[in-house]
Amino acid sequence: MAAIDGLPPLRDVICNHGLVAKKKLGQNFLLDLNLTAKIARQAGDLSGCDVLEIGPGPGGLTRGLLAEGARRVLAIEKDPRFLPALEEISAAYPDRLQVINGDALEVDILSHLTPPIRVVANLPYNVGTELLVRWLTPKHWPPFWESLTLMFQKEVAERIVAKPQSEHYGRLALLVQWRCEAKIVLHLPPEAFIPAPKVHSAVVHLTRLAEPRYPADGAVLAQITAMAFNQRRKMLRSSLKRIGPDIEEKLMAAGIAPTARAEEISLESFCTLVREVTSGLTKKGQT
């Protein structure tokens, strides 16, 4: 394995610090530094950027990000056992790595970062989707980040990039694709990790759009897609009937057959439906 820095191989780091993986914290480590540098490169040119990394663990991806030239890395790690190993990396890259011991769902990260900001992480599976949804639903758009380069279980990655009429198409695809470009950039087999998980993994790269792809109220879009996909086998006139007694008219005005099912409907059509529904609400509010 070619060294990407002067630090010891990750196997030695794990052994020297006695770092046994804890399943409940989603700990599956990448030990091949060429692979972690390759993942870092999927995030684009990092030289002028602060990078937020969630869950650095023994620091394989952290070292990849620093070797690939990230201006600064802010790494949030819940498990304090990794702090000594991460301190060694910090010492090798003076002033470029800040580690916070805490829960990524609770730490106020923004006060520690300077734009432009990219997020790159091999996410713990237990909080991965929750973090992604938070990053996609800030109070104001554009969000604090320019891009997200994230490792997920392959099935979650497929849900993120899914298109209509496919098995994985649903709320997550619509939420992501409404305001981002999303693509799968790498596939990884279980053997890439120690310990090997049961499932394959994939890295997804999301780039934020300046504006949503189609105009729509985000809260109503989330509500309608939740109703539609919670009963994905039902016809929309039935799954969306709680929207109001005139839902069939709204669907037809949006160019959607009331007998269609959620998985057949494009993002553009869902946004048109949202505008039909919200314009009805505005008119009612005016009378």
Three-class SS state of 148: strand
What tokens appear for 267 in the block?
């993002």
Per CB under 6 A, 196 contacts ligand SAM = no
- Closest to ligand SAM by CB, 122 or 149: 122
Q: Which is nearer to ligand SAM, 92 or 109 (CB)?
A: 109
Instruction: Give me the least distance between CB of 206 and ligand SAM, in Å please.
Output: 18
Q: Does 93 bind ligand SAM (CB under 6 A)?
A: no
CA distance 221 to 63: 39
Residue with tokens 């792809």: 213
Q: Compute the least distance from the CB of residue 31 to ligand SAM, in Å.
A: 7
Contact yes or no for 114/91 (Cβ under 8 A): no
* Torsion angle of the four alpha carbons 134, 136, 140, 146, in this order, in degrees rounded to the nearest 10: 120
Of 19-27, 219-227, 257-265, 273-281, the window that binds ligand SAM (rule: CB under 6 A) is 19-27
Which range in 41-49, 53-61, 225-233, 241-249 contacts ligand SAM by CB under 6 A? Answer: 53-61
DSSP state of 261: B
Question: How many CA within 13 A on the CB side of residue 103?
Answer: 6
Q: Does 64 bind ligand SAM (CB under 6 A)?
A: no
Side-chain-side CA neighbours of residue 102 (13 Å) = 12
**Is 130 near ligand SAM (CB under 6 A)?**
no
Contact flag: residue 54 with ligand SAM (CB under 6 A): yes
Could you give the CA distance from residue 205 to residue 42 in angstroms, rounded to a whole number?
Answer: 7
Amino acid at 236: L
Residue nearer to ligand SAM on the CB measure, 64 or 143? 64
Cis (ω within 30 of 0) for the bond into 116? yes
76 scored as a contact of ligand SAM (CB under 6 A): yes
Whole-number Å distance between alpha carbons of 211 and 189? 35
Piece of the chain touching ligand SAM by CB under 6 A; list 48-56, 83-91, 249-257, 261-269: 48-56
Least distance between ligand SAM and beta carbon 162 (Å): 23
Q: Which residues lie near ligand SAM (CB under 6 A)? A: 25-30, 54-57, 60-61, 76-79, 103-105, 122, 124, 127
